[in-house]
Chain A
Amino acid sequence: MIYLKHTLDWFQFPSLVIDLFSFIVLFLIGLVSLKYYKLNKNKKSLYLSISFSFIALSFLFKLLTNVAMFYDDLINPQIGIQTLQIIREYNIFSNLTFTIFAFFNLIGLYLLYKLYQGKQTSSNIFLMSYFILISTYFSNSNYYIFHLTSLIFLISISAFYWKKYSENLFINTKLLALSFSIISASQIYFIFTTFGKLFYLAGEIIQLGGYALLLLIITHIQKNGKKKI
């Protein structure tokens, strides 16, 4: 699955920038969480850091897939110039990086989901692992299965944050729940990527909104720490 082939030409470069931005935000949350783990030794902070790091890493592989395609199109705009061998090699590369993207993304989301579900039985973990492997396996041929699985995880995580907000009434938790709900909504658009070029564009812009909100939360927390003096 190469997303850039399913979007408008002018949006190819902005799409790369959006993915880079998403990677930076996710990596930052992973880093901040790790910093707090070193301070309080709370294992949940460590698990949160690992979850966000996996998702960040997945975006790095998505970027790799799309950057390779983007530059390939710039250098060789006419497909006729390329040899069949180059195309084949490129397809193997993009399929591999996309598969790794899907796998890391689902692993990260599952770890995040698991963090809030408490202790799980081994049969439950086995079942989830099976779903992740199946979704990853079909991510290239039937990419919507991957997005559907992501959507299910994201809805569960969002629901937890909304529940948490109803308990603590903390504005940052509300923003967090909202950002995960927005990211969940973006998955719905990604599911229909091959139905029209605007779907991927809409999905990316909605996703950007979700990650921008996540960045806002982190800056809000850092700012608040300094303010209450």
Chain B
Amino acid sequence: MERKRSRTDIIHDIMMSIQNKNGRIKPTHLMYKANLSYNQMNSYLEELLEKEFIEKTIEKKSNYLLMTDKGFNFTQKIREMKDFGKTFGL
């Protein structure tokens, strides 16, 4: 059985989903890519927006989420941390 995702895992999945879409994604797509409910996604997005890891933009009447440089660096750190944890069996 798959273990429950931790908070860090979910943030990592959100950031990776945005990054894999060249740093720009629609919120509905993010919800499916990161495997989150609408409420879950909103609560995480609120935090990520507040920390300036992502920003909202409107293009052709559609909402988009953009990854900032700060978010990009944070994603790198999370990836390193996950590799470190996996290496040391944490």
Binding site for B on A (CB under 8 A): 32-33, 36, 39-40, 42, 44-45, 48, 116, 160-161, 164, 168, 170, 172-173, 176, 217, 221-222, 224-226, 228-229
Contacts and interface: CB of A to CB of B under 8 A. Distances in A.
A136 B85 CA distance: 31
Interface residues of B, number: 17
Contacts of A176: 87-88
Nearest to A36: B81
Contacts of A33: 84, 88
Contact of B87 (A39, A42, A170): A170
Contact of B90 (A45, A221, A225, A226): A45
Contact of A221 (B8, B19, B78, B80): B80
B76 A225 contact: yes
A229 B19 contact: yes
B89 to A, nearest CB: 4
Contacts of A228: 79
B5 to A, nearest CB: 13
B3 interface: no
Contacts of B88: 33, 48, 173, 176
Contacts of B90: 42, 44-45, 48
B83 A221 contact: yes
B4 interface: no
Contacts of A40: 6, 8, 81, 85
Interface string B39-56: 000000000000000000
Nearest to B80: A225
Contacts of A172: 83, 86-87
B21 interface: no
B86 A170 contact: yes
A36 B86 contact: no
A36 B77 CA distance: 8
B89 A173 contact: yes
5 contacts: A32-B84, A42-B90, A168-B89, A170-B87, A226-B76
B60 to A, nearest CB: 27
B89 A116 contact: yes
A226 B72 CA distance: 10
Nearest to A163: B89
Interface string B1-41: 00000101000000000010000000000000000000000
Given A36-B80, A39-B8, 7 more contacts: A36-B84, A36-B85, A39-B77, A48-B88, A116-B89, A221-B83, A221-B84
Given A36-B81, A40-B8, A229-B19, A221 B87 contact: yes
